[in-house]
Amino acid sequence: MANVTVIGAQWGDEGKGKIVDWLASRADAVVRFQGGHNAGHTLVIDGKTYKLSLLPSGIVSGTLSVIGNGVVLDPWALRDEVAKVEGQGVSITDENLAIADNCPLILPLHRDLDGLRETAAGKGKIGTTGRGIGPAYEDKVGRRAIRVCDLAHLDTLEPQLDRLCAHHDALRAGFGQPPVDRAALLEELREIAPFVLRFAQPVWKRLKKVRRAGAKILFEGAQGVLLDVDHGTYPFVTSSNTVSGTAASGSGLGPNSTGFVLGIVKAYTTRVGSGPFPTELEDDIGQRLGERGHEFGTVTGRKRRVGWFDAVLVRQSCAISGVTGIALTKIDVLDGLERVKICTGYRLRGKVYDYLPSHAADQADCEPIYEEMPGWSESTAGARSYADLPANAIKYIQRIQELIECPVALVSTSPERDDTILMRDPFVD
Three-state helix/strand/coil letters over the chain: CCCEEEEECCCCCCCHHHHHHHHHCCCCEEEECCECCCCCEEEEECCEEEEECCCCHHHHHCCEEEECCCECECHHHHHHHHHHHHHCCCCCCCCCEEEECCCEECCHHHHHHHHHHHHHHHHHCCCCCCCCHHHHHHHHHCCCCCEHHHHHHHHHCHHHHHHHHHHHHHHHHHCCCCCCCHHHHHHHHHHHHHHHHCCEECHHHHHHHHHHCCCCEEEECCCCHHHCCCCCCCCCCCCCCCCCCHHHHCCCCCHHHCCEEEEEEECCEEECCCCCCCCECCCHHHHHHHHHCCCECCCCCCECEEECEEHHHHHHHHHHHCCCEEEEECHHHHCCCCEEEEEEEEEECCEEECCCCCCHHHHHHCEEEEEEEECCCCCCCCCCCHHHCCHHHHHHHHHHHHHHCCCEEEEECCCECCCEEECCCCCCC
Contact call for residues 382 and 421 (beta carbons, < 8 A): no
Q: Which of 37, 41, 110, 168 is catalytic?
A: 41
Write out the binding residues. Answer: 12-18, 38-42, 129, 143, 223, 238, 298-304, 330-332, 412-414
Q: Which of 13, 21, 101, 310 is catalytic?
A: 13
- The torsion of the CA quartet 26, 202, 112, 180, rounded to 10 degrees, works out to 160
* Phi/psi-derived region of residue 96, left when phi > 0, alpha when psi is between -120 and 50, beta in every other case: alpha
140 is catalytic: yes
Write out the binding residues for substrate. Answer: 298-304
Write out the binding residues for GTP. Answer: 12-18, 40-42, 304, 330-332, 412-414
Contact call for residues 66 and 160 (beta carbons, < 8 A): no
351 is catalytic: no
Dist. CA 50–CA 94, nearest whole Å: 20
Dist. CA 66–CA 49, nearest whole Å: 21
Q: Which of 37, 110, 140, 341 is catalytic?
A: 140
| Neighbouring C-alpha atoms within 13 Å toward the C-beta of 239 | 25
395 is catalytic: no
Known catalytic residues are: 13, 41, 140
